[in-house]
Amino acid sequence: MGIYPPLLYICHQLIIRKVRIILLSIVLLLFTSCERILNFEIIGDGKYSEPVLQKLSSFSRIDFYDDFELEIRQAEQQQVYVQAESNLLRFVTTEVSDEQLLIQRLPNYTLVPRHPIKIVIETPDLKEISIYGKGKLLIDTLGVQSLSLNVYSRSNVKIQAVRIQDFKLLSNSGGEIDIEGEFSSLNFRQAGSGSSQIRGLAEDALLVQEGSGIIKARDLYPDYLTVSLFGSGLVYCRALDYFSVLIEDNGRILYTGSEPDSKDIKGEGRLIRN
């Protein structure tokens, strides 16, 4: 008595095992759901730290998330510094994988700083930058062979005193872009309702506006200029040696300098000498 027959004992153990598996699955499901739902707000303590040097491997591309301030400048050695309030530092992550630097906050945390969270990157070279957060980007006195900048969020971008042989910029965010520099080839494309200003020198420049945004490039001096406008946007530009224009829909291009060598206007768009 008190001892299960073999078959009954085996059935009993199987039932217990299945119950444990079901309970464990429920716990894991609840934990995963809570992890997605729970979000902790961390308020800065007001104690602004000195810039902290990050120990990272080398990188050539950057993915930039969140509303931090990112500054990139020229240097012989590649280094990354993070500056934030003392209790927020550990929630700002910088990681490198396959030569790609990822900058973001830890998941499930909302940071409420009293002072800006700043990341400073010193580098001799860089190939690509992608912006996904609503932060600020400053590129200062950078000289590289080729650089692609992709702006996918409503962020603020300022580029000054740069020398880039082949520069490509895509703004798909409605943010503000301010560029000043010297370029052999400049490929600038803005989609949506953004506002951009471009100044400097270029041998060959392509300006593309899609949507209702504004490109102010009257202080850009390109030898060869191609402007394509799709939608209701507005482009200000200066033409020197060669000037080609394409307008579709009802946008306007206001230009100064030489007359266009080629123009194709469809819809109610207008090309205006100003």
Q: What was the pLDDT predicted at 8? A: 67
| 121 contacts: CB under 8 Å, gap ≥ 6 | 62, 70, 71, 72, 73, 78, 79, 80, 81, 101
List the single range of 49-53, 120-124, 173-177, 244-248 with lowest mean pLDDT.
173-177
Question: Average pLDDT in the 168-174 region?
Answer: 93
Place 203 in a pLDDT band, splitting at 50, 70 and 90: very high
Question: How confident is the model at residue 73, as a pLDDT?
Answer: 98
pLDDT greater than 50 at residue 35: no
- Mean of the per-residue pLDDT values for the chain? 92
Confidence band of 60 (pLDDT split at 50, 70, 90)? very high
Query: Do residues 238 and 254 make contact, with C-beta atoms less than 8 angstroms apart?
Result: no
pLDDT score for 9: 65
3-state secondary structure (DSSP) of residue 257: strand
Query: How many whole angstroms separate alpha carbon 3 and alpha carbon 101?
Result: 63
**Please, which pLDDT band fits residue 208 given cuts at 50, 70 and 90?**
very high
Residue entry with tokens 């308020």: 43
**pLDDT of the residue at 17:** 74
pLDDT at 34 > cutoff 60: no
For the cut 70, the answer to whether the pLDDT of residue 93 exceeds it is yes
Averaged pLDDT, 71-98? 98
Of the candidates 236, 243, 237, 235, the one whose C-alpha atom is nearest the C-alpha of residue 259 is: 243
Q: pLDDT-derived band of residue 7, with 50, 70 and 90 as boundaries?
A: low
pTM for the model: 0.85
**Across 10-29, average pLDDT:** 69
- What pLDDT is recorded for position 49? 95
